[in-house]
Amino acid sequence: MTVSVPPAEQRRGGIFKDTWVVARRGLKHMIRQPEALSDVTIQPIMFVLLFAYVFGGAIAVQGSNYREFLMGGIFAQTIVFGAFNVAIALAYDRANGAIDRFRSLPMARGSVLAGHALASLVRSVLPITLMSLCGLIVGWRIRDGVVDAVSAYALMFLFTFAIIWVGVLMGSLLPSPEAVQGFAFAIIFPITFVASTFVPLNTLPGPLQTVAAWNPVTSMSDALRELFGNRRGFVPEPNADWPVRHPVAYTFIWIVGIIVVCAPLAVRQYSRTIDD
Amino acid sequence: MASNAAIDASGLVKRYGETVALSGVSFDVPRGTVCSLLGPNGAGKSTAVRILTTLTEADEGTATVAGLDVATRAAEVRSRIGLASQDATVDGLLTGRENLIMIGELHHIGRRVATERAAELLEQFSLVDAGDRLIKTYSGGMRRRLDLAATLVAHPEVLFLDEPTTGLDPRARNELWDVLDILVDEGATILLTTQYLEEAERLADDIVVIDHGRVIARGDSRSLKRQVGGDQVFATVVDPATLGRVSELVGRTAGAEPEIDEGARQVRAATAVGPRAIAELATALAEAGIEVEDIGLRQPTLDDVFMTLTGHHAEEVEEGADE
């Protein structure tokens, strides 16, 4: 028996097909390595419980109870951490030869990165669902109607998609999975804390407050609180920084900015890095 | 000339910072033949393969594969080649079958054809039973077989095998050679890199010896060995005091200047007469009443070839130079 394979001239591919093949592979990896999912499952749940029951009592929030306030922040932080896994997945691919295998194939340019990004986006459904359930259990509620709630979830996926491209860029720049991990802890971890993630902005000391006000993790957290109706009693001061008064719009600007800057940079950097 | 060559490399130069990986490598491989790039670690073999498979660009020089320029028509080249190397392996978290199907899909042969082709290849490479197991459960030899199968999914015109047997135990290596024989018999054009003269001899029609980024010799294994002086006859003595006498006898039977290795209590010399040298040496030793531990004939190694061609051993160049 011989299977007849169409000759090279007659084969037609495309970026969408190739992207989907790579994404499917990425999803299989996730299912087959459940231990690697701990950072988007166990870790965020642990954060919810820790802050809801251990630290929460010590943090006062204007116009809301702390557990309501907390969820917006944890959603934002989990998205930032979770999306970074794409960087590690890419670094592993480079370390173990998968990238060279892909590059020796007639694939559409950019489809390896796009496939990783797509798999990461699909995967983010898991932590966002788990977080929501966990939040509901500790007393968080969606209070502002369906449209706002849908907008909140849509914003989360858009934010995830943007952060994934930061991850792809990191995965293309940094030489090894260990380096990615180091970078995540040294840079990303603090960024998610110098924000309104766990505490209201006005509890931070002066200069840090300004930094936090412009931090997209703050605006993402606040945007979710606003859309879910978790900060009804909160009234920003009239002279507060613009992002504090317009968290949804400011977050959206970041999302667009990140994608426009990082995606092309990542594709370029990626083909450069792996050339050697 | 070029139209007949499946691979035609001309003056390839590649530098990585200070390191010169290739300094002007030229060779061609006619269609339907097997060519081996032979050389020690860091000689530039893998770099040459990376350029020919479009994974990296040459700083100078040109190359065509299947008649297509690798620099300007990379995508078309990729749809006509298969690459198996330690740097480009199958996916450990997919099954053997999933790997083959995925590669077929990425070659755009269609999912249905890819599925059928995967089944066919699993059978051809004796991996039917392991086909639905994750690659990470495979032995080194099985994995390498699947690597090879993966290169064949889309019926490539030219195959690149970068050190296909490095790191395999002797049994797995023999199994892999048998598989490669099948490919050779089917008339594939293959470029294979290896550090072992034995492997190049077993598989290749033509051997290109590379050292420090240069081609230092080319020919079939017989002509290379002739350059080295052919097979070597050797005798290992029981009493080191007899080395001098034995050396005389070895020199006479072999017809060449013998070399004495006192540490190994061994005398050896190149010989053109083949197995007859053993018989004559055995008789001579018996007549002289000298006791020996071992006598025999051995093929020249890559190291012998290097000693003859370059005057230095096939030492390993610094780590990284071949990356």
Measure Cα distances from B23 to B10, B58, B160 in Å. Answer: 11, 10, 21
Output the six-digit token pair for B268.
């050896």
Q: Taking CB atoms and an 8 Å cutoff, what residues of chain A touch B88?
A: 97, 100-101, 103-104
Q: Is the pLDDT of residue B305 over 50?
A: yes
pLDDT digits (tens, 9 = 90+) for A76-108: 999 998 777 889 888 888 888 888 889 899 998
Query: Given B54, B106, B110, which is nearest A18 (Cβ)?
Result: B106
The whole-angstrom separation of Cα B81 and Cα B90 is 16
Tell me which residue of B145, B150, B193 sits closest to B7, measured CA to CA: B193
| Contact: A104, B103; criterion CB under 8 Å | no
Q: Is the pLDDT of residue B322 over 50?
A: no
pLDDT (average), residues A227-242 = 82
Q: What is the pLDDT of residue B3?
A: 57
Q: What percent of chain B has pLDDT over 70?
A: 94
CA–CA min distance A112, chain B (Å): 11
Query: Given B56, B98, B108, which is nearest A13 (Cβ)?
Result: B108
Mean pLDDT of chain A: 88
A100 CB within 8 Å of a chain B CB: yes
Tell me which residue of A108, A255, A239 sits closest to B107, measured CA to CA: A108
> What DSSP assignment string belongs to B211-279?
ETTEEEEEE-HHHHHHHHTSEEEEEEESSGGGHHHHHHHHHHHHTS--EEETTTTEEEEEESSTTHHHH
pLDDT (average), residues A212-221 = 94
What band does A275 get if pLDDT is binned at 50, 70 and 90? low
Q: What percent of chain B has pLDDT over 90?
A: 45
Q: Taking CB atoms and an 8 Å cutoff, what residues of chain B touch A105?
A: 78, 103, 106-107
| Contact: A96, B98; criterion CB under 8 Å | no
Mean pLDDT of chain B: 87
Q: Taking CB atoms and an 8 Å cutoff, what residues of chain B touch A18?
A: 106
A10 CB within 8 Å of a chain B CB: no
pLDDT (average), residues B193-218 = 90
Output the six-digit token pair for B130.
């392991």
Q: Is the pLDDT of residue A250 over 70?
A: yes
| Residue of A1, A2, A3, A24 to mutate, interface with B, max B Cβ within 10 Å | A3
Q: What is the pLDDT of residue B96?
A: 96
| Contact: B116, A3; criterion CB under 8 Å | yes
A1 CB within 8 Å of a chain B CB: yes
| Contact: A276, B102; criterion CB under 8 Å | no
Residues 6+ apart with CB under 8 A from B132: B95, B96, B97
CA–CA min distance A128, chain B (Å): 25
| Rg, chain B, Cα only | 23
| Contact: B54, A25; criterion CB under 8 Å | no
The whole-angstrom separation of Cα B147 and Cα B141 is 10
Q: What is the pLDDT of residue B317?
A: 47
Tell me which residue of B215, B201, B263, B165 sits closest to B34, measured CA to CA: B201
Q: What is the pLDDT of residue A267?
A: 86
pLDDT digits (tens, 9 = 90+) for A101-150: 898 999 988 899 999 999 999 999 999 999 999 999 988 888 888 999 99
Q: Cβ(B33)–Cβ(B205) under 8 Å?
A: yes
| Contact: B89, A97; criterion CB under 8 Å | yes
3-state secondary structure (DSSP) of residue B208: strand
pLDDT digits (tens, 9 = 90+) for B135-154: 999 988 899 889 989 999 99
Domains delineated in chain B: 2-80+157-225 (3.40.50.300), 94-149 (no CATH), 231-298 (3.30.70.100)
How many CB atoms within 10 Å of residue B205?
A: 15
pLDDT digits (tens, 9 = 90+) for A150-196: 999 999 999 999 999 999 998 888 888 889 888 888 888 899 999 99
The whole-angstrom separation of Cα B122 and Cα B109 is 17
Q: Is the pLDDT of residue A214 over 90?
A: yes
Q: What is the pLDDT of residue B185?
A: 78
Q: Cβ(A70)–Cβ(A52) under 8 Å?
A: yes
Q: Is the pLDDT of residue A27 over 90?
A: yes
Q: What is the pLDDT of residue A63?
A: 66
